[in-house]
Structure 1
């Protein structure tokens, strides 16, 4: 994709799933990578070790993105520890419980919106001074193909991702004058913990690999295939790309 040497990236949800794959991809392209995680310290340590194996430097910060004070504290620690930030990838996410609107607990709605929409707003806002100082600043929001299909029993998650995308499109227009690139990556079903839980809940299938034959190109999308789109968007190859939503679902929807 081109060298990211000399750039520092922060990836939320970087210990597992798509966030981990993004962190490792950016490290492989030469970036130093900080990851933010909620509570899985063991997964964060493993990601850091693999970043090191890729020949880059990694840093881990425990910071739940659904907490305003935690977002502001994370931004302050990034500035204190590094004094800069070039790339911000919002990958932290949680699933909703699959209830109908009539049966959704209001507390669940608040929690899901906080992770997918309010947290990215708070963290981006707190980090904008650093991103504006970068020679090139990039913000990538990992959303979902759900915002193009609106299936039933998914309102909190779909609402959270829709709000995230609204934030991204608005930010892209506001920050273009500062040389910033802001884009959205919207995966479909991906072979992650969340994807496996979704398959179990909707089909009763325990092994997500059983979905390969019915999937585009003969396999369920991997986290690395999503990460490859992110690494393109923050590379020199995408120097004239901003305010775009790229769907990574193999053409399913």
Structure 2
């Protein structure tokens, strides 16, 4: 449709799965995309090549968003190459599972550092450029278990619940700069997992209305819409893409 032609998007954690689908959806609509991965350079470069295949410009960046210097380097690289930042999608996250009785403070901080602190660093670094855009967009990725609770996920549930609060606060703070801030909350999405990695425990207790799991592209479609001109009146919202697995507000 080309609604994002001329726009530049940064998508964190976009070397695979939902992040990759988001990067490709935005590129398919015309945006130039910066593909970020925490450590896997090959994955980031592969997605960047896919973005270029659909006719959009792309950069790959490897860096941990928990490191503010790495985030600033990513944003500086983006502006140097593309001249602007219009869209920030905060997708990067850690989804660890460990019983609370066994959880250490280091375990807790590892998750908070990426999900909450990393999102903070990205917004801080991008804010001046999103303001210059005149129609800046931030989309944060939430989590189903932040709304339903889940065993062995105290750190992840807390961090993702914090993302909802951060979204609502930022919507107020950044509205005068013409920046919208929303959250897309994925449900039970079928994604490839590393070998010998078990299914997340909370996936086993939730069911969709249709009985089918979603695909990364289902989440990407919601993000893509929130980045479009048609969504400028939507602000401070949590949009659930979960097939009816959770029907709360």
Report the TM-score, using the length of structure 1 for normalisation.
Answer: 0.90
Q: 1:197 to 1:8 in 2, by over 3 A?
A: farther
Greater per-residue helix proportion? 1
Q: What is the correspondence of 1:1-253 to structure 2 with a 5 Å cutoff? A: 3-96=3-96, 98-193=97-192, 200=199, 202=201, 215-253=208-246
Give the superposition deviation at 1:68. 2.0
Is the CA contact (8 Å cut-off) linking 1:189 and 1:195 kept in structure 2?
A: no
Q: Distance in 2 between matches of 1:80 and 1:107?
A: 36
Is the CA contact (8 Å cut-off) linking 2:208 and 2:242 kept in structure 1?
A: no
Give the superposition deviation at 1:218. 4.3
Aligned length: 244
Is the CA contact (8 Å cut-off) linking 1:66 and 1:115 kept in structure 2?
A: yes
Q: 1:156 to 1:26 in 2, by over 3 A?
A: same
CA deviations over 1:146-185 (Å, ceiling 9, x no partner): 1111122110111111122221111111011111111000
Give the superposition deviation at 1:231. 0.5
Q: Distance in 1 between matches of 2:211 and 2:197?
A: 19
Is the CA contact (8 Å cut-off) linking 1:83 and 1:130 kept in structure 2?
A: no
Secondary structure, aligned partner of 1:59: strand
Is the CA contact (8 Å cut-off) linking 1:14 and 1:23 kept in structure 2?
A: yes
Q: Distance in 2 between matches of 1:121 and 1:194?
A: 27
CA deviations over 1:37-81 (Å, ceiling 9, x no partner): 111122112211111111111111112111122122222222322
Question: C-alpha root-mean-square deviation of aligned residues, in Å?
Answer: 2.1
Q: Distance in 2 between matches of 1:167 and 1:85?
A: 20
Unaligned stretches of 5+ residues in structure 2 = none
Secondary structure, aligned partner of 1:200: coil
Q: 1:201 to 1:119 in 2, by over 3 A?
A: closer
Q: Distance in 2 between matches of 1:25 and 1:126?
A: 24
